[in-house]
Structure 1
Amino acid sequence: MLNSKVIKALRPKERRYQITDSEGLALRIQRSGVKSWVLRVFQNGRIVDITLGHWPELSLIQARATARRKKKELELEPSGSYTVRDAFKFWCSKKRGRIISYRDEKLRLEKYVISKIGSRQLDTITPPILIKLMEPIEQAGKQSTVKRLLMRTREIFDMSVNAGYLQSNPLAKITKVFAVPEVHHMASVDWKELPIVVSQIEALAPPKYKVLFYFSLATLLRPGEVVSIRLEWINEEAITIPAEFMKMKRVHRIPLTPYLIALIQEAKTIRKNKRSPFLFPGTRPNKHISGQALAKWLHSQAEFKNRLVAHGLRSTGRTWFADNDVPLEVAEACLAHLTGSQVVRAYQRGDYFASRSKILLGWHAYIQTCARCAQVLSQNPDKSGDPA
């Protein structure tokens, strides 16, 4: 069978000649150097050569797909051409590094779609096949997974159409078959409830999880970003996280306050692995603790189950900003969110560092007030009511 390197190396000769690929497909090289794809079929008692197009305008994979379609049109047994796995690999080559959720999307597709129908010819896939594939996932209550799988599978087929491997996308309207998943926000608490939450943290949490909780609350980073903090990123002014470690792929600076400095010192004190480059080291060498560590601990406590998750602390802080009249752009910058259109961001390239420094001083003062209330509550356990 041919490959791109062999095709490119073929040179014209004194007479026209052709090189066979497979299943009747061949590449014909003219004396002029023009390379044409031809399909040889047996029709009406004689052998017929059908010209499909020229190389490189029609690539090898496209020629195989075109030959397959032509055989189907002529009601001949079609040869193998472009599979679902081929289309998936093409999607991977175009999406790698371009979408934030690439790794998760790739693993999800491999698990639920490619492992089931990856070897099938692309033009044999119909909506009923994919619907049958999705039904067990929907019945398991994973509507959001179904939504993302359908979106990405449809995207794979759209790209195959654009690349010339398919004439049309049979899955264009398949999302209409399944119900739209309900959106459930991350479990969180209002900032006014924070004194109670902090008192429960003080009473229940081991030192490691206590520091991790306060650090997450103070920085308002995403759980995975919190645990990835390296000591070398911390200087006298800020914690500077490189773009590749942030969800939005932009450098993020967290202004240091006296409270945050004290938390960092406490985290360093309780670290068991003193040689680790991470502020929150894991048990394995040169690894940080799991991004789900705090979430799992909160879930294991009856007081927090279905009430608060690690990611929900960001919502608590964001609500405090809103109720304390923090400007939208500054509040969103504290959470490392992007605001404004692409044009606006092209002109506004600052990160509101000075403004965020002032805002975080107020936010950290409130956290410290909650901690003092928790200490008062623990010293007077018979008193009831809101410690705030």
Structure 2
Amino acid sequence: MLTSKKIAALKPRAKRFQITDQFGLALRVQTSGVKSWVLRVPQNGRIVDITIGHWPEISLMHARAIARQKRKELELEPSSSFTVRDAFRFWCSKKRGRISSYRDEKIRLEKYVISKIGSRQLDSITPPIVIKLMEPIEAAGHQSTVKRLLMRTREIFDMAVNAGYLQSNSLAKITRVFPVPEVRHMPAPDWRELPIVISQIEATAPPKYKILFYFSLATLLRPGEVVSIRLDWINEEAITIPAESMKMKRTHRIPLTLFLISIINEAKRIRKNKRSPFLFPAANVNRPISSQALAKWLHDQDVFRGRLVAHGLRSIGRSWFADNDVPFEIAEACLAHVVGSQVVRAYQRTDFFAPRQKIMLSWHAFIHQCAQCAQLLTQNTDSHED
């Protein structure tokens, strides 16, 4: 495909020549140096050239637009032409509410793809164009972002074909261009190190982050689910989180224990925004704190950076379950994971609440024991410093 820079660099030769752009459009360079746009189309069983005009009076983008209109007039172009943004809107209408990561995926696509090529015609997008968009992201070390963008962009073009916007998907194999990103697990220490971790939390964390840490560890919820907890979801037996607030879109119940109740009561006591319906409110009465609050605080502490993230608390709990002979399905239910085939899930509809009550009692007793050990560690450290 031509670019404005390539066109400007073309020099006349001893004989007239032309450079092809796309869909029959070409730039003809005369021996005098005059550059003309021509469109090659089939007519009455033979190929004819239609002169569009001269460059630079007619720019590359203008020439493409005129060529497209000419092809429409000759019924060589679909009657309605769609842009990348049109296909993106169609994708949004079909994916909204159907994929848990919809909001993040939409924002990511708008930032890196739609803002750059959204106004371009669908059939003008080729793999090199998309690859060029991805190269700076890859160079910045965000291989996972590249993977997700390519996957969703290819999906948008697949849906555009199915919707009749496009005849074929030129991006069908584009994901092969970039290497598969290396999978890195969320950093988290071994569960046996929990007394040390808690002692470091007790020594460094402000009350808000300390309670947020204990609540996250005790409930094993994802960071976004932790901050979404509302006071009216808490009753005498459990915290019941509605399906729309869970990643897997299934209602999740967390059994209450005396340990967890004490954490909830302390969270209520220290929160400044008493009118908020959320257990962990932001300054705004209608919003919870950021789902990244604990993650950011951990990252800002030298002792935790690269060693523990908020999501890693779930790994600590899951590893403890495995090493303490908790049955697989019950352990997965504690983390609100969906396991088994579609057929298995169709028949198995329990959330294992009764057995999870027993498991959470043991898990919370272990956390409490670690906290007591942490206090001894802190006292010993203080005595050595004295």
Query: Partners in 1 of 2:229 and 2:346 — Cα distance?
Result: 28
Q: Tell me by how many angstroms 1:275 deviates.
A: 1.6
In structure 2, the partner of 1:90 is 90
AA paired with 2:124?
A: T
Pair 375,320 (structure 1): closer, same or farther in 2 beyond 3 Å: same
2:343 equivalent to 1:350: no
Query: Partners in 1 of 2:382 and 2:218 — Cα distance?
Result: 30
Q: Tell me by how many angstroms 1:140 deviates.
A: 1.0
- Provide Cα deviations, 1:135-173, integer angstroms capped at 9, x if missing partner: 111111111111111111111111111222222111111
Q: Secondary structure of the equivalent of 2:272?
A: coil
Question: What stretches of structure 1 of length at least 5 have no aligned partner?
Answer: 1-40, 45-67
AA paired with 1:208?
A: K
In structure 2, the partner of 1:99 is 99
Pair 383,189 (structure 1): closer, same or farther in 2 beyond 3 Å: farther
2:252 equivalent to 1:252: yes
Q: Tell me by how many angstroms 1:342 deviates.
A: 1.0
In structure 2, the partner of 1:159 is 159
Q: Secondary structure of the equivalent of 1:261?
A: helix
In structure 2, the partner of 1:304 is 304
Q: Tell me by how many angstroms 1:71 deviates.
A: 2.7
In structure 2, the partner of 1:148 is 148
Cα root mean square deviation, aligned = 2.3
Q: Is the 8 A contact 1:230 1:278 kept in 2?
A: yes
Query: Partners in 2 of 1:77 and 1:350 — Cα distance?
Result: 56
In structure 2, the partner of 1:176 is 176
Q: Tell me by how many angstroms 1:304 deviates.
A: 0.3
Query: Partners in 2 of 1:130 and 1:370 — Cα distance?
Result: 51
In structure 2, the partner of 1:335 is 335
Q: Tell me by how many angstroms 1:382 deviates.
A: 6.3
Query: Partners in 1 of 2:226 and 2:125 — Cα distance?
Result: 43
Q: Secondary structure of the equivalent of 1:215?
A: helix
Q: Is the 8 A contact 2:81 2:165 kept in 1?
A: no
Pair 346,383 (structure 1): closer, same or farther in 2 beyond 3 Å: farther
Query: Partners in 1 of 2:90 and 2:357 — Cα distance?
Result: 46
Q: Tell me by how many angstroms 1:383 deviates.
A: 7.7
AA paired with 2:278?
A: F
Query: Partners in 1 of 2:204 and 2:379 — Cα distance?
Result: 15
Q: Tell me by how many angstroms 1:317 deviates.
A: 0.2
In structure 2, the partner of 1:225 is 225
Q: Tell me by how many angstroms 1:192 deviates.
A: 0.3
Q: Secondary structure of the equivalent of 1:381?
A: helix
Q: Is the 8 A contact 2:198 2:374 kept in 1?
A: yes
Query: Partners in 2 of 1:82 and 1:295 — Cα distance?
Result: 42
Query: Partners in 2 of 1:327 and 1:381 — Cα distance?
Result: 38
Pair 111,121 (structure 1): closer, same or farther in 2 beyond 3 Å: same
In structure 1, the partner of 2:10 is none
In structure 1, the partner of 2:265 is 265
Query: Partners in 2 of 1:138 and 1:116 — Cα distance?
Result: 17
- Provide Cα deviations, 1:291-325, integer angstroms capped at 9, x if missing partner: 11111111111110010001100000000000000
- Provide Cα deviations, 1:344-379, integer angstroms capped at 9, x if missing partner: 111111100010000011111110111111111222
In structure 1, the partner of 2:121 is 121
Among the aligned pairs, what percent are the same residue?
79
2:170 equivalent to 1:190: no
Q: Secondary structure of the equivalent of 1:253?
A: strand
Q: Tell me by how many angstroms 1:72 deviates.
A: 7.4
Q: Tell me by how many angstroms 1:278 deviates.
A: 1.0
Q: Is the 8 A contact 1:69 1:78 kept in 2?
A: no
Q: Secondary structure of the equivalent of 2:253?
A: strand
Query: Partners in 1 of 2:185 and 2:172 — Cα distance?
Result: 29
Query: Partners in 2 of 1:77 and 1:102 — Cα distance?
Result: 33
Pair 172,69 (structure 1): closer, same or farther in 2 beyond 3 Å: farther
In structure 1, the partner of 2:287 is 287
- Provide Cα deviations, 1:84-130, integer angstroms capped at 9, x if missing partner: 11111111111111111111111111111111111111111111111
Query: Partners in 1 of 2:180 and 2:151 — Cα distance?
Result: 12
AA paired with 1:154?
A: R
Pair 193,383 (structure 1): closer, same or farther in 2 beyond 3 Å: farther
Q: How many residues are treated as equivalent by the alignment?
A: 322
In structure 2, the partner of 1:360 is 360
Q: Is the 8 A contact 1:228 1:278 kept in 2?
A: yes
Q: Secondary structure of the equivalent of 1:165?
A: coil
In structure 1, the partner of 2:202 is 202
AA paired with 1:207?
A: P
Q: Is the 8 A contact 2:186 2:312 kept in 1?
A: yes
In structure 1, the partner of 2:53 is none
Query: Partners in 1 of 2:186 and 2:361 — Cα distance?
Result: 26
Pair 170,373 (structure 1): closer, same or farther in 2 beyond 3 Å: same
Query: Partners in 1 of 2:360 and 2:310 — Cα distance?
Result: 19
Query: Partners in 1 of 2:135 and 2:210 — Cα distance?
Result: 42
